[in-house]
């Protein structure tokens, strides 16, 4: 990347900085010696994560109050939108949230880099999915992701969207694998969501953060969507084997089936919303990252064995500090 292609980024705003990918983006920006405003609802969480980081300014606020976002975005070069909200709030709140973020970017004249998932692509196909794959999802949440992309690309500032598979990594507290790892770290009975024999991809959040930050400092990346794949695919059995070996965990890990989640969904609205997304455990979507590699450079790809061990060590450290 030559100097003419680089975007000026002296100061960045990370929305959702206390979440898995938001946390990783803040850490990556610090590595690049870029000043960061870490924005989230909980001051306690932000201080716990970033209290020793000189280049991080902690700001708390409500993303549904556009004034809070506008105040945080003053003097910002790039806004990273990594906010995650519960599934049950998607239908009413996601479009409002995206419009608020876009408005804050427009009023501060900031570029916007958006963390997205793979829901808009719909069902998996036999080949890897590239950016030209039709976005015609069969799920309600996939349709919402398409709507959010449309809102974002209508903004009057440069916007890029990065599509990621499921996350795992330090502080990725809401990830499906974290649900399994958390019990294993505590040496309790653990469960894995979906068929353990199916091979899927899970992106290590520091890799995802490196990729989206590289996109954000590249002028030609804006106005486009980008697929960021993981370091290949892996079965649940292999994940459990790696984690079990690292933790000296001897218990068996059982499977949470679709039927079990449907049953829980009778009383729990969050579980009810998970059901339609379980197709991803049965028909995995695997991303094609060749566009990124051609236009930006090599994709960050930490081997699963290394990424899983680092994630577990982070979780063990947190457990011992609480």
C-beta of residue 156 within 8 angstroms of C-beta of residue 222? no
Rounded Cα gap, residues 150 and 307, in angstroms: 34
Contact by Cβ (8 Å): 177, 168: yes
Q: Which two tokens stand for residue 318?
A: 């947190």
pLDDT of 153 reads 97
Rounded distance, CA 37 to CA 53, Å?
A: 11
Q: What is the pLDDT along the chain (322 residues), one digit of tens a residue?
A: 544 477 789 999 999 999 999 999 999 999 999 999 999 999 999 999 998 788 899 999 999 999 999 999 999 999 999 998 988 889 899 999 999 999 999 999 999 999 999 999 998 776 899 999 989 899 999 999 999 999 999 999 999 999 999 999 999 988 989 999 999 999 999 999 989 999 999 999 999 999 999 999 999 999 999 999 999 999 999 999 999 999 999 999 999 888 877 776 666 667 777 777 888 888 889 999 999 999 999 999 999 999 999 999 999 988 877 6
Q: Which residues in the chain belong to E strands, given as ranges?
A: 11-15, 35-40, 56-60, 78-81, 111-116, 159-163, 166-168, 191-193, 199-200, 202-204, 224-227, 234-235, 254-256
CA atoms of 256 and 90, how far apart (whole Å)? 24
In terms of Cβ atoms closer than 10 Å to its own Cβ (0-12, 13-18, 19+), residue 44 is exposed
SS3 assignment, position 180 = helix
**What gap in Å lies between CA 253 and CA 184, rounded to an integer?**
9
pLDDT (0 to 100) of residue 267: 67
Q: Which domains, ranges and CATH numbers included, belong to the chain?
A: 3-169+203-232+285-302 (3.40.50.720)
Q: How far apart are CA 17 and CA 23, in angstroms?
A: 5
CA distance 109 to 127: 39
143-180: burial string, b at 16+ Cβ within 10 Å, e else: bbbeebbebbbebebbbbbbbbbbbbbbbbbebbbbeb
Cα(60)–Cα(306) distance, integer angstroms: 33
User: Quick one: pLDDT at residue 234?
Assistant: 97
Ramachandran sector of residue 78 (left: φ over 0; alpha: ψ -120 to 50; beta: rest): beta
pTM: 0.94
Distance CA(309)–CA(264), nearest Å, equals 31
What pLDDT sits at residue 265? 63
244: tokens are 């079990």
Q: Which residues is 58 bridged to in the sheet?
A: 38
CA 55 to CA 59: how far, in whole Å? 13
Q: What integer pLDDT is reported at residue 123 of this predicted model?
A: 84
C-alpha pair distances (Å), 84 with each of 6, 40, 244, 274? 28, 10, 29, 15
CA–CA gap between residue 105 and residue 119 (Å, rounded): 25
Across-strand partners of 56? Answer: 36
Nearest-CA neighbor of 123 among 292, 235, 286? 286
**Residue 88 confidence (pLDDT):** 85
């Amino acid at each position: 990347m030559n100097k003419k292609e680089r975007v000026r980024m002296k100061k960045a705003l990370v929305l959702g900085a206390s979440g898995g990918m938001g946390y990783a983006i803040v850490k990556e920006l610090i590595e690049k010696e870029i000043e960061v405003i870490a924005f989230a609802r909980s001051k306690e969480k932000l201080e716990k994560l970033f209290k020793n980081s000189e280049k991080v300014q902690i700001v708390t606020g409500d993303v549904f109050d556009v004034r809070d976002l506008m105040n945080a975005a003053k003097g910002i070069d790039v806004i990273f939108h990594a906010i995650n909200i519960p599934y049950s709030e998607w239908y009413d709140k996601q479009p409002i949230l995206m419009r608020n973020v876009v408005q804050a970017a427009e009023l501060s004249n900031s570029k916007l880099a958006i963390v997205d998932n793979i829901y808009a692509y719909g069902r998996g196909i036999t080949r890897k999915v590239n950016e030209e794959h039709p976005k015609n999802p069969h799920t309600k949440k996939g349709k919402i992701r398409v709507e959010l992309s449309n809102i974002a690309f209508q903004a009057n500032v440069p916007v890029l969207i990065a599509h990621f598979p499921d996350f795992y990594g330090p502080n990725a507290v809401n990830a499906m694998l974290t649900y399994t790892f958390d019990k294993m770290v505590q040496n309790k009975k653990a469960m894995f969501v979906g068929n353990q024999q199916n091979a899927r991809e899970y992106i290590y959040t520091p890799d995802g953060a490196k990729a989206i930050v590289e996109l954000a400092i590249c002028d030609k990346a804006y106005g486009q969507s980008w697929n960021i794949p993981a370091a290949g695919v892996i079965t649940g059995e292999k994940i459990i084997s790696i984690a079990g070996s690292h933790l000296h965990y001897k218990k068996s890990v059982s499977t949470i089936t679709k039927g079990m989640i449907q049953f829980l969904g009778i009383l729990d609205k969050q579980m009810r919303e998970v059901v339609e997304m379980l197709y991803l455990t049965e028909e995995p979507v695997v991303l094609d990252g060749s566009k990124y590699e051609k236009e930006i450079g090599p994709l960050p790809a930490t081997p699963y064995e290394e990424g899983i061990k680092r994630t577990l060590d982070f979780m063990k450290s947190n457990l011992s500090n609480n």
